[in-house]
Structure 1
Amino acid sequence: MMEIWTIYKMEIIKTLKRRNSLILLIPAILVMVMSFGASTGALTLTGDALSSDGKLACLDFVSTVWTFFNTLGIWGILLILVTAVQFSGEITSGQIKMTLLRIGKRGPIIVAKFCALLTTTFGAFVLFTLSAGAGYYLFVADSTMGNGSFTSAMIDLPNMLAMIGFIFLHLALFMAVTLLAGLFLSPFIAFIISLVSLFALNYLITTNAVDLLKYSALSASNHLLAGQTAEWVPALLSSLVIIACILTLTSLFFKRMDIK
């Protein structure tokens, strides 16, 4: 555990210093622009989150923009891209050797890198959510689209937070997949394969094509958005188990591979 903690702290510093990590700020910037656009009438938001009078409370707005960004796949693209560049890039360039020389053991490196990436991306999720709330009160609340209220009759705060948590868990699974692919492939190819896999699974979940996928994190998120709580415990457990299995497999391959 001490080795994992040591590598984790080192990876957090490296991740924050890398310029490509700045792309995780894009959603927070975009949501502020969207807030301003909504307040001027240049952008119209529609959907189930709208209150009965056609105006948005803060929770309505945050839920709407979260659904919008997740449906477009913006978060999936950014998280997988950062993972591919920062891990596969180190493997391809040989920079991973520096970590190996300092640590000696390969086993903890994969887990520590994954946790460091999770921490960074979780911070981006929090920043986006806070930016959406700030954008609402700065621009939307006093416009014709907002009612200035925080609470909503349509959106429950715990359910909304749980929905965001399951979106994060769903994307974390594909970050783990990207780590596995990044052992053998270039950053671009690992990014493309992981992203295609993400969109394919999202499609199967949305269309209910496979019954087992109702236990996925994204399916649980969709149910929570609709005000339902069915299957969220199996979804949580199954996602954690799959992530653990992928990380274990990645660690085993990493121990046996030659680093150029």
Structure 2
Amino acid sequence: MELWMIYKMELIKIMKRKNSLILVIPAILAFIMAFGISTGGLTMTGDAASNNGTFACLEFIGTLWMFFSGLGIWGILLILVAAFQFSGEIASGQIKMTLLRIGKRGRVIFGKFLALMTVVAGAFALFTLSALGSYYLFIANSSLGNGNFASATVTVSGLAASVGFIYLHLALFMALTFLVGLYMSPFIAFITALIGLFAVNYLINSNAFTFVKYSALSVSNNLIAGDAEYLLPALLSSFLIIGCLLAIASLLFKRVDIK
């Protein structure tokens, strides 16, 4: 019951924070990019295009997801929000009021994390809907669009699974932000987690080690390419690492002096 109360309270707090509005930026950018592509201001090419060189709706959405994920835009925004949500409250002492109401600090961390992940899921859905709507508004009737929703190269289930593994990959670094945010300012926690994100992304994309093929990001990239391998190992390893990071953060949080 306490966890549910914390979850609801943190969900409301995140929604009311002005800095949480940055999660809407990708959806706005997707709309602007689609308009730019339709007018010739932006050029769009990629392996996701159909044989005739045009994009179906699912291909367009998948291409935007690859673009935003590859540039690390989602990672930057989500880690920043996570840093302000947890480390920011510790630094300002705002979290003290929550701790006075809720005795167990571990539940506070898990409640905050679950609330954050709910908002992130909403931001992902908004981005996908923005890409879908902008396709039919700007791309479908242009020289780059064929007006079809379905695609021979991208399926709804494959795209959904790919986005889901991106979600898990970024959740890992939001959990890491919670951990390092126990002892660091929001800005330092943000920079530390961000460096870790780009370092891990580089190792995964370069296939530097054999075990990276079991990572959520690697599986996501393969799913977009039509290769569904190592789904279960990646799923289990992601949940295990996220759980360990949150458990360690919960244990250490008990020893942190809140001013």
Q: Report TM bin, short chain.
A: over 0.9
SS in 2 for 1:147: coil
SS at match of 1:256: coil
Deviation at 1:156, TM superposition (A): 1.5
Distance in 2, matches of 1:154 and 1:230, equals 17
Deviation at 1:44, TM superposition (A): 1.3
Normalising by structure 2, what TM-score?
0.99
Give 2:151's aligned residue.
152
Distance 1:6 1:121 in 2: 19
| Distance (whole Å) between structure 1 residues aligned to residue 104 and residue 180 of structure 2 | 21
What are the equivalent positions in structure 2 for 1:62-211 lying under 5 Å apart?
Answer: 62-211=61-210
Counterpart code for 1:86 = Q
Task: Give the letter aligned to residue 219 of structure 2.
Answer: A
User: Which piece of structure 1 moves more, 42-51 or 185-194?
Assistant: 42-51
**Aligned-residue CA RMSD in angstroms?**
0.7
Q: 1:56 matched to which residue of 2?
A: 55
2:218 aligns with 219
Query: Post-superposition shift, 1:96?
Result: 0.5
Name the aligned partner's letter for residue 163 of structure 1.
S
Structure 1 SS opposite 2:153: coil
Equivalent-residue separation in structure 1 for 2:150 and 2:244 (angstroms) = 40
Paired residues, number? 259
Q: CA deviation at 1:104?
A: 2.0
**Where does structure 1 lack aligned partners over 5 or more consecutive residues?**
none
Residue deviations 1:174-194 (CA, integer Å, cap 9, x gap): 000000010000000000010
SS in 2 for 1:43: coil
Partner residue in 2 for 1:247: 246
Identity %: 64
- For residues 93-125 of structure 1, what are the alpha-carbon distances to aligned partners after superposition, in whole Å with 9 as ceiling and x for unaligned? 100001011112212000000000000111000
Listed as ranges, the gaps of 5+ residues in structure 2 are none
SS of equivalent to 1:230: coil
Q: How far apart are the structure 1 equivalents of 2:147 and 2:213?
A: 36
Offset of 1:85 from its aligned partner? 1.2
Q: C-alpha offsets along residues 10-30 of structure 1, whole Å, 9 cap, x if unaligned?
A: 000000000000000000000
Give the TM-score of the pair, scaled to structure 1: 0.98
1:185 match: secondary structure = coil
Equivalent residue, structure 2, for 1:27: 26
Q: Is the aligned partner of 1:228 residue 2:227?
A: yes
Q: Following TM superposition, by how much is the alpha carbon of 1:154 offset from its aligned partner in structure 2, in angstroms?
A: 1.4
Matches of 1:86 and 1:257, distance apart in 2: 17
Quote the Cα distance in structure 2 between the aligned partners of 1:257 and 1:60.
48
Encode CA deviations 1:150-173: one digit per residue, 9 max, x unaligned.
001111211111000000100000
Partners of 2:56 and 2:212 lie apart in 1 by 32
What corresponds to 1:8 in structure 2?
A: 7
What CA distance in whole angstroms lies between the structure 1 residues aligned with 2:5 and 2:242? 22
Cα distance in 2 between the residues matched to 1:86 and 1:249: 18
Query: For residues 199 and 136 of structure 2, what CA distance do their matches in structure 1 show?
Result: 37
